[in-house]
Amino acid sequence: MLRIGLTGGIGTGKTTVSDMFGKLGARIIDADVIVHELSSAGMPAYKAIIDMFGPDVVDESGGLLRKVIRQRIFANAQLKAKLEALLHPLVRAEIDRQVAENSRPYCIISIPLLFETGSAYNIDRILVVDAPQEVQIARACGRDNADREAIQKIINLQSDREFRIARADDVICNDADLASLQAQVNSLHEKYMQLANDRRIPA
Ligand code: ATP
Protein backbone atom coordinates (compact mmCIF):
# COMPACT_ATOMS: atom_id res chain seq x y z
CA MET A 1 0.00 0.00 0.00
CA LEU A 2 1.43 3.35 -1.06
CA ARG A 3 0.87 6.10 1.52
CA ILE A 4 1.32 9.72 0.49
CA GLY A 5 1.38 12.33 3.28
CA LEU A 6 -0.14 15.58 1.98
CA THR A 7 0.73 18.82 3.73
CA GLY A 8 1.17 22.56 3.18
CA GLY A 9 0.48 25.90 4.85
CA ILE A 10 -2.90 27.49 5.47
CA GLY A 11 -4.80 28.32 2.27
CA THR A 12 -2.27 26.67 -0.05
CA GLY A 13 -4.97 24.39 -1.50
CA LYS A 14 -4.63 21.08 0.39
CA THR A 15 -8.37 20.39 0.45
CA THR A 16 -8.77 21.28 -3.22
CA VAL A 17 -5.86 18.97 -4.08
CA SER A 18 -7.12 16.04 -2.00
CA ASP A 19 -10.60 16.41 -3.56
CA MET A 20 -8.95 16.16 -7.00
CA PHE A 21 -7.02 13.01 -6.00
CA GLY A 22 -10.22 11.57 -4.55
CA LYS A 23 -12.04 12.06 -7.87
CA LEU A 24 -9.19 10.24 -9.64
CA GLY A 25 -9.70 7.23 -7.35
CA ALA A 26 -7.28 7.70 -4.46
CA ARG A 27 -8.40 6.87 -0.94
CA ILE A 28 -8.41 10.09 1.10
CA ILE A 29 -7.64 10.01 4.82
CA ASP A 30 -7.82 13.32 6.66
CA ALA A 31 -6.07 13.87 10.02
CA ASP A 32 -8.26 16.91 10.80
CA VAL A 33 -11.43 14.86 10.30
CA ILE A 34 -9.98 12.14 12.54
CA VAL A 35 -9.16 14.68 15.30
CA HIS A 36 -12.72 15.97 15.06
CA GLU A 37 -14.17 12.49 15.35
CA LEU A 38 -11.89 11.41 18.21
CA SER A 39 -12.89 14.44 20.23
CA SER A 40 -16.65 14.16 19.69
CA ALA A 41 -18.85 13.31 22.68
CA GLY A 42 -18.25 9.76 23.86
CA MET A 43 -15.16 9.22 21.68
CA PRO A 44 -11.70 8.29 23.11
CA ALA A 45 -10.21 11.80 23.49
CA TYR A 46 -13.38 13.61 24.60
CA LYS A 47 -13.19 13.09 28.37
CA ALA A 48 -9.42 13.56 28.50
CA ILE A 49 -9.76 16.96 26.76
CA ILE A 50 -12.40 18.10 29.27
CA ASP A 51 -10.17 16.94 32.14
CA MET A 52 -7.32 18.93 30.61
CA PHE A 53 -9.19 22.20 29.84
CA GLY A 54 -12.02 22.21 32.39
CA PRO A 55 -15.81 22.05 32.04
CA ASP A 56 -16.14 25.50 30.44
CA VAL A 57 -14.95 24.12 27.08
CA VAL A 58 -18.25 22.21 26.75
CA ASP A 59 -21.43 23.76 25.32
CA GLU A 60 -25.01 23.07 26.53
CA SER A 61 -25.40 20.12 24.20
CA GLY A 62 -22.16 18.48 25.39
CA GLY A 63 -20.04 19.39 22.33
CA LEU A 64 -16.54 20.81 22.70
CA LEU A 65 -16.08 24.56 22.13
CA ARG A 66 -13.23 24.07 19.67
CA LYS A 67 -12.67 27.78 19.12
CA VAL A 68 -12.10 28.29 22.87
CA ILE A 69 -9.67 25.35 22.95
CA ARG A 70 -7.81 26.76 19.92
CA GLN A 71 -7.51 30.16 21.62
CA ARG A 72 -6.18 28.59 24.83
CA ILE A 73 -3.50 26.52 23.14
CA PHE A 74 -2.55 29.48 20.95
CA ALA A 75 -1.65 31.34 24.15
CA ASN A 76 -0.09 28.43 26.05
CA ALA A 77 2.63 26.32 24.43
CA GLN A 78 2.70 23.82 27.31
CA LEU A 79 -1.01 23.15 27.06
CA LYS A 80 -0.64 22.80 23.30
CA ALA A 81 2.12 20.20 23.75
CA LYS A 82 -0.02 18.31 26.25
CA LEU A 83 -3.01 18.21 23.90
CA GLU A 84 -0.79 17.06 21.03
CA ALA A 85 0.72 14.30 23.19
CA LEU A 86 -2.81 13.09 23.89
CA LEU A 87 -4.11 13.28 20.33
CA HIS A 88 -1.24 12.22 18.11
CA PRO A 89 -0.90 8.57 19.11
CA LEU A 90 -4.66 8.21 18.67
CA VAL A 91 -4.59 9.96 15.28
CA ARG A 92 -1.67 7.84 14.06
CA ALA A 93 -3.41 4.64 15.14
CA GLU A 94 -6.64 5.64 13.37
CA ILE A 95 -4.73 6.58 10.19
CA ASP A 96 -3.02 3.17 10.24
CA ARG A 97 -6.39 1.46 10.75
CA GLN A 98 -7.93 3.29 7.77
CA VAL A 99 -4.88 2.53 5.60
CA ALA A 100 -5.10 -1.17 6.49
CA GLU A 101 -8.72 -1.43 5.37
CA ASN A 102 -8.11 0.43 2.10
CA SER A 103 -8.34 -1.43 -1.18
CA ARG A 104 -7.49 1.41 -3.58
CA PRO A 105 -4.03 1.60 -5.20
CA TYR A 106 -2.79 4.42 -2.99
CA CYS A 107 -3.84 6.66 -0.09
CA ILE A 108 -3.54 10.42 0.23
CA ILE A 109 -3.22 11.14 3.95
CA SER A 110 -3.84 14.81 4.61
CA ILE A 111 -1.81 15.93 7.63
CA PRO A 112 -1.81 19.76 7.61
CA LEU A 113 0.59 19.99 10.58
CA LEU A 114 2.90 17.17 9.47
CA PHE A 115 6.06 19.21 10.11
CA GLU A 116 4.81 21.38 12.97
CA THR A 117 3.88 18.57 15.36
CA GLY A 118 7.09 16.60 14.97
CA SER A 119 5.11 13.35 15.01
CA ALA A 120 6.25 10.33 13.04
CA TYR A 121 3.66 8.92 10.66
CA ASN A 122 3.77 5.75 8.60
CA ILE A 123 4.04 7.36 5.19
CA ASP A 124 6.11 6.55 2.11
CA ARG A 125 6.28 9.98 0.47
CA ILE A 126 5.62 13.59 1.37
CA LEU A 127 3.63 15.77 -1.01
CA VAL A 128 3.73 19.50 -0.27
CA VAL A 129 1.22 21.96 -1.70
CA ASP A 130 3.00 25.28 -2.03
CA ALA A 131 1.82 28.82 -2.80
CA PRO A 132 3.34 32.28 -2.33
CA GLN A 133 2.31 33.96 0.93
CA GLU A 134 0.23 36.65 -0.77
CA VAL A 135 -1.78 33.96 -2.55
CA GLN A 136 -2.21 32.01 0.72
CA ILE A 137 -3.52 35.11 2.47
CA ALA A 138 -5.88 36.08 -0.35
CA ARG A 139 -7.34 32.56 -0.62
CA ALA A 140 -7.67 31.96 3.12
CA CYS A 141 -9.28 35.41 3.61
CA GLY A 142 -11.64 34.84 0.69
CA ARG A 143 -12.75 31.49 2.06
CA ASP A 144 -13.02 32.15 5.79
CA ASN A 145 -13.90 35.85 5.78
CA ALA A 146 -10.92 36.26 8.11
CA ASP A 147 -8.75 39.38 8.18
CA ARG A 148 -5.27 39.19 6.76
CA GLU A 149 -3.60 39.83 10.11
CA ALA A 150 -5.15 36.68 11.59
CA ILE A 151 -4.00 34.61 8.60
CA GLN A 152 -0.54 36.17 8.74
CA LYS A 153 -0.24 35.19 12.43
CA ILE A 154 -1.05 31.58 11.58
CA ILE A 155 1.46 31.60 8.71
CA ASN A 156 4.13 32.93 11.09
CA LEU A 157 3.50 30.01 13.46
CA GLN A 158 3.68 27.39 10.70
CA SER A 159 6.84 25.99 9.11
CA ASP A 160 8.19 28.18 6.35
CA ARG A 161 7.98 27.30 2.66
CA GLU A 162 11.66 26.46 2.21
CA PHE A 163 11.59 24.09 5.19
CA ARG A 164 8.61 22.18 3.78
CA ILE A 165 9.90 22.07 0.22
CA ALA A 166 13.31 20.80 1.36
CA ARG A 167 11.60 17.81 2.97
CA ALA A 168 9.12 17.06 0.19
CA ASP A 169 9.33 14.18 -2.26
CA ASP A 170 6.83 15.93 -4.52
CA VAL A 171 5.71 19.57 -4.66
CA ILE A 172 2.57 21.02 -6.21
CA CYS A 173 2.90 24.68 -7.02
CA ASN A 174 -0.57 26.19 -6.60
CA ASP A 175 0.08 29.76 -7.72
CA ALA A 176 -2.10 29.76 -10.83
CA ASP A 177 -5.60 28.65 -11.85
CA LEU A 178 -7.47 25.44 -11.09
CA ALA A 179 -6.66 23.99 -14.53
CA SER A 180 -2.95 24.25 -13.77
CA LEU A 181 -3.54 22.61 -10.39
CA GLN A 182 -5.56 19.78 -11.97
CA ALA A 183 -2.79 19.15 -14.52
CA GLN A 184 -0.21 18.74 -11.74
CA VAL A 185 -2.54 16.43 -9.78
CA ASN A 186 -3.16 14.33 -12.91
CA SER A 187 0.52 13.87 -13.50
CA LEU A 188 1.21 12.92 -9.85
CA HIS A 189 -1.72 10.51 -9.97
CA GLU A 190 -0.04 8.72 -12.90
CA LYS A 191 3.22 8.62 -10.95
CA TYR A 192 1.57 7.24 -7.79
CA MET A 193 -0.35 4.61 -9.77
CA GLN A 194 2.94 3.50 -11.29
CA LEU A 195 4.70 3.42 -7.90
CA ALA A 196 1.78 1.50 -6.36
CA ASN A 197 1.88 -0.95 -9.24
CA ASP A 198 5.67 -1.44 -8.93
CA ARG A 199 5.16 -2.38 -5.27
CA ARG A 200 2.68 -5.09 -6.14
CA ILE A 201 5.11 -6.84 -8.47
CA PRO A 202 7.60 -8.89 -6.39
CA ALA A 203 11.25 -8.18 -7.27
P1 ATP B 1 -6.63 25.34 5.10
O2 ATP B 1 -5.23 25.08 5.49
O3 ATP B 1 -7.06 26.65 5.61
O4 ATP B 1 -7.58 24.23 5.45
P5 ATP B 1 -6.32 24.48 2.35
O6 ATP B 1 -4.85 24.40 2.19
O7 ATP B 1 -7.08 23.20 2.52
O8 ATP B 1 -6.68 25.50 3.49
P9 ATP B 1 -8.20 25.07 0.24
O10 ATP B 1 -9.37 25.13 1.18
O11 ATP B 1 -8.10 23.92 -0.67
O12 ATP B 1 -6.84 25.25 1.06
O13 ATP B 1 -8.11 26.39 -0.65
C14 ATP B 1 -8.32 27.70 -0.07
C15 ATP B 1 -9.29 28.49 -0.96
O16 ATP B 1 -8.64 28.76 -2.19
C17 ATP B 1 -10.55 27.72 -1.31
O18 ATP B 1 -11.62 28.63 -1.36
C19 ATP B 1 -10.25 27.14 -2.70
O20 ATP B 1 -11.42 26.95 -3.45
C21 ATP B 1 -9.37 28.23 -3.29
N22 ATP B 1 -8.37 27.74 -4.26
C23 ATP B 1 -7.45 26.75 -4.08
N24 ATP B 1 -6.66 26.61 -5.15
C25 ATP B 1 -7.10 27.51 -6.06
C26 ATP B 1 -6.68 27.85 -7.40
N27 ATP B 1 -5.66 27.27 -8.02
N28 ATP B 1 -7.36 28.84 -8.02
C29 ATP B 1 -8.40 29.47 -7.39
N30 ATP B 1 -8.83 29.21 -6.14
C31 ATP B 1 -8.20 28.24 -5.48
Ligand 1 atom closest to 142 (CA): 18
122 Cα: distance to centroid of ligand 1 (angstroms): 26
Determine whether the shortest distance from the Cβ of 110 to ligand 1 is under 6 A.
Answer: no
The residues, any chain, with a CB within 8 Å of residue 62's CB and separated by 6 or more, are 41
pLDDT for residue 117: 80
Ligand 1 atom at shortest distance from the alpha carbon of 10: 2
Nearest CA to ligand 1 atom 2: 10
Range list of H helices, the chain = 14-24, 31-38, 46-53, 66-75, 77-100, 133-144, 148-157, 161-167, 178-200
Q: Given this model, what pLDDT does residue 120 score? A: 87
Q: Which amino acid is at 177?
A: D
pLDDT tens digits, one per residue of 142-201:
887 788 998 998 899 899 999 999 999 999 999 999 999 999 999 999 999 999 999 877
Nearest Cα residue to atom 23 of ligand 1 = 13
Is the CB of 13 within 6 Å of ligand 1? yes
Entry pTM: 0.93
pLDDT band at 114 (very low <50, low <70, confident <90, very high): very high
pLDDT at 129 over 80: yes
User: Is any ligand 1 atom within 6 A of the Cβ of residue 172?
Assistant: no
pLDDT digit string (tens) for 8-46?
A: 999 999 999 999 999 999 999 999 999 999 999 989 899
- Asked whether 182 lines ligand 1 (CB < 6 A), one says no
Mean pLDDT within 49-74:
93
Round to whole Å and give the CA distance between 53 and 72.
Answer: 9
Q: Determine which residue's CA is closest to atom 25 belonging to ligand 1.
A: 178
